[in-house]
Structure 1
Amino acid sequence: MARSLDGLVLAPVADQAPGQVGTGTRFTYHEQDGRIWAEYAGGDVVRGHLVGTREGDRLDFRYVQLRTDGSTASGHCASTVVELADGRVRLEEAWQWESQPGSGTSAVEQLPGASS
């Protein structure tokens, strides 16, 4: 199993569509006994939260966020935890909005020098 996500700060590797997370968004992850949660903000997201579970290298969680335009959105994401060659963590994600149409894939990576 990949190492714990607890205390790690991750950021998207690419921008998504307007109103979604982007390279300016920062996720602070927490993990305990197979449960994961994170707070995130930045870019078009004023505040976001995710909660879910981890089994091995697989995460399954729901997310909800408040955007800078005052709208809210929620969805579901399944991620795979990958350890990069330099020891940082990458999450490869498949997500789907539940509050609006849309789905896709994305990746977030631990920031260099951020908690480990």
Structure 2
Amino acid sequence: MDLSLDGRVFDMVSSTASRVDPEAPTRFRYSEADGVVWGEYTGDTVTTGRFVGTRDGARLEVSFAHALVAGGAPVTGTAVSRIEPSDDGLRLVEDFEVAGEPQVSVCAEVR
């Protein structure tokens, strides 16, 4: 299966860090070339977000920054995701930390 993320769009479907709004989930738009991955995201609690990183096989590592609807300081960090095939395309299962606590989010490809 082709694991390239170029041109793919994903919606967040679950997160242990916060409730996901099923009517307006955070939507991620990916580009990829030569193992470098970048993109943007918005929706739910995020007004503007950007990420950049690398993909090696089914492993995705990114750094990100985003602004929240509620205001305050920008949120920055790093995340590692597994790219998994599913019946409806690809899923991204992301492990990350918030305030030192491990968290997991899942994004599903939008077809």
Common topology (TM > 0.5): yes
Q: Which has the higher strand share?
A: 2
Deviation for aligned residue 1:3: 2.5
Separation (CA, whole Å) in 2 of partners of 1:22 and 1:58: 27
Deviation for aligned residue 1:69: 1.6
Percentage of pairs with the same residue: 34
Deviation for aligned residue 1:85: 2.5
User: Does the 8 Å contact 1:46/1:68 carry over to 2?
Assistant: yes
Aligned to 1:10: 10
Separation (CA, whole Å) in 1 of partners of 2:21 and 2:109: 14
Separation (CA, whole Å) in 2 of partners of 1:70 and 1:56: 36
Structure 2 gap ranges (5+): none
Runs of 4+ more than 2 Å apart:
100-103
Separation (CA, whole Å) in 2 of partners of 1:96 and 1:83: 24
TM-score, with length taken from structure 2: 0.85
What count of residue pairs does the alignment treat as equivalent? Answer: 107
Give the aligned CA root-mean-square deviation in angstroms. 1.9
Q: Deviations over 1:37-90 (max 9, x none)?
A: 11000011000011100111100111110001222111110011111134x010
TM-score, with length taken from structure 1: 0.81
